Structure 1
């Protein structure tokens, strides 16, 4: 469950700040109060996990000066301004400076709750995007998102960073389960639109009439904007772009052409046709395809990622073992080879399922990894690819996995790893250097 966003309430009148705090707390928010802007600035920094509600007229630093200080350190921080009678022009100026919205006293508490919900949702999205952008740009946390040390994954991360900084529309394709939607989120998170909206729609999940309404018409009576407008300034991600009818493709192309350069709304289109032996170019009208595919990312299938398969299996099985309160299964050399040879038609999504079932089997004390890789048509033999690999590749992949697992289990204790694997110190050091393993990654 996501941690509740904080709401900092800043007002020099004690009764007012306490009543706002009590109302929002009853609405499920985590509140903290400050009698003035100077006190609040001691606790609110660029990474503040929440929003700010502040009065405009306060002694010392007033609300406008406070807002400018907050915007200077984090322009994406939602700030709701509270105005007194006659302060509406000042509140309008605050909106120009960067305020999220304003409320005029006396205000409706339900309106306050509604604004707080919208503001905290925007803040959570901005914080999530910022964290993902940080992971991708400086390498921290990459194992959690785009795990893998294979050349194809290195290239994918480079493509995401490069195209994320560009401003054109992007087409993402690849087999099912390879992480296309994650790549779309990452593209948005590492680019200049990161603080703006990321709106996603599955074109295959709706009828043509529903898509027309959601994308281009909205619901004026309910004050619901069409998604092309809701995403303005940010990114509109269209999953299953191949499901759009010819009429909707034409309308989308018109929208793209009318935007000009740079585009106000960036389109990231995800295509899911590879398994059917077709391409997105087969399904889209040529002019739309070439507008979207000027920048293109293809997610690599798992079978092309080499020893990433063992790395992923190890991490996933450890996570599931923690979740189920049991030990992760130990992988033999034969099972490692079987994992590396399997065709993985479901890619990472399939590997997640296999890792979870392997942990459950291990908890019961029965079953093998090989049994989880069997086809439905022939349950007597595990599925293997026809592409053979040199024995040396299998041996090295298994060796790396074994050292990695042992280092993790012993929390980086070289002595314990040497003893368990019966390796002299120099040999262990050489192998760790060869496989890019660093002791510092396992400490603690």
Structure 2
């Protein structure tokens, strides 16, 4: 743990004055602290606050500190330091044998207590780093597996990612729906210096201006804000151009200041994170239409990565489709279906408006049909319009496709528009505009 990293501590003590005293001491050291009066609440609390170390009293009503120690998963839980005014040598020995990191008697010496907690936190950080490294090595065998493809467009993209990954510069990823924007964002994270830190993805289209500060900054004494979970890692802002105008100013302040002040708190909490954003819209148009702040665009767009569409790399179609067929065949425990000449013709003739995501879905439908002993790529594409039913112009064809796709999503998600927008990979504002433009009747679809 470097000197700039913030230690996070969970204090558990039923004595209110002692609990507040410990919180004051730890906050004075610029550590992040949360406190509980009962050990029974620890398990639930750990689901949303992941401390580097737990400091717990031994004798408390209900669950004792030793019982808390026994309840924690030794492989995943943070180290536990016990503190008690009733301590003796035998209790300390028993606690250490049971797995406690250390034992401190009250009244405690502040510098010694801080030293013990810091060493425990460092040990936990090192263990988590080792685990992440092992998982990363097992997961990554080069960008060739993360971004599958042999065309020049994919080769150039992989080179750009490798060039940018080591830099702390803010990155804007632009690409159509289904081109793999989050996949690229995760590759930047995994290959960069912040790989051992968290990856926090936020869907900007779903951010609520009324609850933004409470959810993102947190409330002192109640809950930790989501943005704190990005400390030391990557903050991924998906659908950034769909961010509500009221939220944009607050995001700009966080990105500029690299700190947040939880509601009710007296001091800001410093943060360290890399910003990676993504959009399937044109930023210049959004700025010109006054939908997006130009000053925020400067902060998130130091480096730009433009993802190629599947139409632009048709040479990868068969390779990708075969990969997905094998993946889903293994998932559904069937033999992958063989590709016929008719299948290859259908793959090449389709425009793939949904890009790699659509290709993956078609492959899954093809494998599901193979389980029933039939199917083809044409049927999996659901391209069963007769010649007379095909619209005369490209604009009409695109509108018909969008109308069918959005209508299906509205029906599937029973009219829950946030879920519909997320499933389609577009912002809520964009969805509403398309519904009006295409003349869709939401009520008639339900």
For the criterion TM > 0.5, the same-fold answer is yes
What is aligned with 1:198? 199
Asked if the contact 1:52/1:80 (under 8 Å) is kept, the reply is: no
| Counterpart check, 1:358 vs 2:358 | no
Look up the SS of the partner of 1:209 in the other structure. coil
Look up the SS of the partner of 1:300 in the other structure. coil
Look up the SS of the partner of 1:365 in the other structure. coil
Mapping of 1:205-224 within 5 angstroms?
A: 205-215=206-216, 217-224=217-224
Asked if the contact 2:325/2:364 (under 8 Å) is kept, the reply is: yes
Look up the SS of the partner of 2:173 in the other structure. strand
CA shift, 1:375, in A, is 4.2
Look up the SS of the partner of 1:273 in the other structure. coil
CA shift, 1:21, in A, is 7.8
Asked if the contact 2:321/2:363 (under 8 Å) is kept, the reply is: yes
Look up the SS of the partner of 1:84 in the other structure. strand
2:133 and 2:205 mapped to 1: Cα distance?
26
Look up the SS of the partner of 2:169 in the other structure. coil
**Over aligned residues, Cα RMSD in angstroms?**
4.4
What is aligned with 2:185? 184
What is aligned with 1:153? 154
CA shift, 1:312, in A, is 1.7
- The normalised TM-score by structure 2 is 0.57
Q: 1:23 to 1:250 in 2, by over 3 A?
A: closer
Which residue of the other structure, out of 103, 109, 114, is the alignment partner of 1:92? 114
2:285 and 2:358 mapped to 1: Cα distance?
22
What is aligned with 1:248? 247
| Counterpart check, 1:326 vs 2:325 | no
Asked if the contact 2:207/2:244 (under 8 Å) is kept, the reply is: no
Look up the SS of the partner of 2:201 in the other structure. strand
1:256 and 1:128 mapped to 2: Cα distance?
26
Look up the SS of the partner of 1:208 in the other structure. coil
Asked if the contact 2:175/2:309 (under 8 Å) is kept, the reply is: yes
Give unpaired runs (5+ residues) of structure 1.
Answer: 1-17, 32-48, 57-78, 102-118, 387-444
Q: 1:277 to 1:309 in 2, by over 3 A?
A: farther
CA shift, 1:350, in A, is 1.0
Asked if the contact 1:133/1:190 (under 8 Å) is kept, the reply is: no
Deviations 1:144-164 (A, max 9, x none): x32222222222222222222
Q: 1:285 to 1:91 in 2, by over 3 A?
A: same
Which residue of the other structure, out of 295, 313, 317, is the alignment partner of 2:303? 295
Asked if the contact 1:203/1:239 (under 8 Å) is kept, the reply is: yes
Which residue of the other structure, out of 298, 303, 325, is the alignment partner of 1:317? 325
CA shift, 1:354, in A, is 0.7
Count residues with an aligned counterpart: 305
- The normalised TM-score by structure 1 is 0.57
Which residue of the other structure, out of 83, 93, 96, is the alignment partner of 2:103? 83
Asked if the contact 1:370/1:382 (under 8 Å) is kept, the reply is: no
Deviations 1:275-306 (A, max 9, x none): x9956776422221122111112222122223
Give unpaired runs (5+ residues) of structure 2.
Answer: 1-65, 83-98, 260-270, 395-446
What is aligned with 2:357? 349
What is aligned with 1:23? 71
What is aligned with 2:400? none
Look up the SS of the partner of 1:235 in the other structure. strand
What is aligned with 1:338? 346
Asked if the contact 2:205/2:244 (under 8 Å) is kept, the reply is: no
Asked if the contact 1:301/1:347 (under 8 Å) is kept, the reply is: yes
Asked if the contact 1:228/1:265 (under 8 Å) is kept, the reply is: no
Look up the SS of the partner of 2:237 in the other structure. strand
What is aligned with 1:166? 167
Look up the SS of the partner of 1:168 in the other structure. coil
Asked if the contact 2:101/2:120 (under 8 Å) is kept, the reply is: no
1:133 and 1:269 mapped to 2: Cα distance?
25
2:236 and 2:346 mapped to 1: Cα distance?
36
CA shift, 1:142, in A, is 4.2
2:309 and 2:129 mapped to 1: Cα distance?
29
Asked if the contact 1:83/1:91 (under 8 Å) is kept, the reply is: no
Deviations 1:42-70 (A, max 9, x none): xxxxxxx85674889xxxxxxxxxxxxxx
Q: 1:350 to 1:161 in 2, by over 3 A?
A: same
CA shift, 1:363, in A, is 2.1
CA shift, 1:126, in A, is 7.6
Mapping of 1:389-404 within 5 angstroms?
A: none
Deviations 1:338-364 (A, max 9, x none): 213321111121111111111122222
What is aligned with 1:435? none
Q: 1:93 to 1:315 in 2, by over 3 A?
A: same
1:80 and 1:253 mapped to 2: Cα distance?
43
Q: 1:382 to 1:302 in 2, by over 3 A?
A: farther
Mapping of 1:49-64 within 5 angstroms?
A: 50=76, 53=79
